[in-house]
Amino acid sequence: MIALLISNQSGNSGVAGDLAVPVGLADRIRGKADSKVILVEYSDFQCPACRFWHPILEGLYQDYGDRVGFVLRHFPLSQHKNAQLMAQGSEAAGQQGKFWEMSSLLFEKQKDWESASNVRDILTGYAVSLGLNKEKFLADMDSSEIKDKVNNDSRSGSLSKIPGTPTFFLNGKELTNLRGYEDIKAALDAALSNIK
């Protein structure tokens, strides 16, 4: 599911259907960071439904560009044994400016690594293929800073009472009953039309 939030909302409501933690400096944002329309996705790289939504979100980013801020927050599910490490890997790639590229690669190659026992080696190979410094990537991936970032994202999802992944919030309100591109597009268009 994907979450959308407007950056000027206060958050912290703790009510199901509301984004409890507002978008801030720690978030991975692409598009316009100070947009009045922000889409937040709680995602798990090992989740098949998140993989399904990935190209849809890529299309929305291409279509809306700087009119919308797109945020990805981690919510690795406990039943997905490799999800936590993959989230850490995406953040380690982000330390070298390649968060979104690594995220795309992890979704595109999900079937290659989801059941692998050598997932750390696979992830390191992806980092090298993206031109990242291997030693820095490995050090960052296991750092307390990166682990805290992933855990804080996950905690914010729990505070927002998300039902699973993917979960989407638009301007701080959960989007439900989404079937595909047209549903999110309609929500984004409505939010953009309400901007004063």
Tens digits of per-residue pLDDT, 98-118? Answer: 999 999 999 999 999 999 999
Q: Is the pLDDT of residue 2 over 50?
A: no
| pLDDT top residue among 78 and 3 | 78
Question: Using 50, 70 and 90 to split pLDDT, how confident is the model at 5?
Answer: very low
Residue pair 37/172 in contact (Cβ under 8 Å)? The answer is no
Per-residue pLDDT, 16: 53
| pLDDT top residue among 7 and 46 | 46
CATH code, 184: 3.40.30.10
Residue pair 88/175 in contact (Cβ under 8 Å)? The answer is no
The mean-pLDDT minimum among 6-15, 107-116, 119-128, 131-140 falls in 6-15
Per-residue pLDDT, 32: 85
Torsion angle of the four alpha carbons 129, 50, 111, 26, in this order, in degrees rounded to the nearest 10:
30
Per-residue pLDDT, 89: 98
Residue pair 2/50 in contact (Cβ under 8 Å)? The answer is no
Whole-number Å distance between alpha carbons of 156 and 46: 19
Whole-number Å distance between alpha carbons of 16 and 26: 23
Q: Is the pLDDT of residue 4 over 90?
A: no
Q: Is the pLDDT of residue 62 over 60?
A: yes
Structure tokens at 114: 């989801």
Structure tokens at 13: 């409501």
Q: Is the pLDDT of residue 3 over 60?
A: no
| pLDDT top residue among 118 and 11 | 118
What's the pTM value of the predicted model, to 2 decimals? 0.89
Q: Mean pLDDT, to the nearest integer, of 56-79?
A: 95
103-136 burial: b if 16+ Cβ within 10 Å, else e: bbbbbebbeebbeeeebbebbbebbeeeebeeee
Question: Using 50, 70 and 90 to split pLDDT, how confident is the model at 46?
Answer: very high
Give the chain's domain count. 1
Q: How far is CA 126 from the centre of its chain?
A: 18
Range of the domain at 78: 2-193
Q: Mean pLDDT, to the nearest integer, of 31-38?
A: 90
Q: Residue 174 forms beta bridges with which residues?
A: 3, 169
Q: Which residues lie below 8 Å from residue 118, measured CB to CB, with a gap of 6+?
A: none
Give residue-wise pLDDT tens across range 135-161: 999 999 999 999 999 999 999 999 999
Q: Is the pLDDT of residue 7 over 70?
A: no
Q: Is the pLDDT of residue 168 over 50?
A: yes
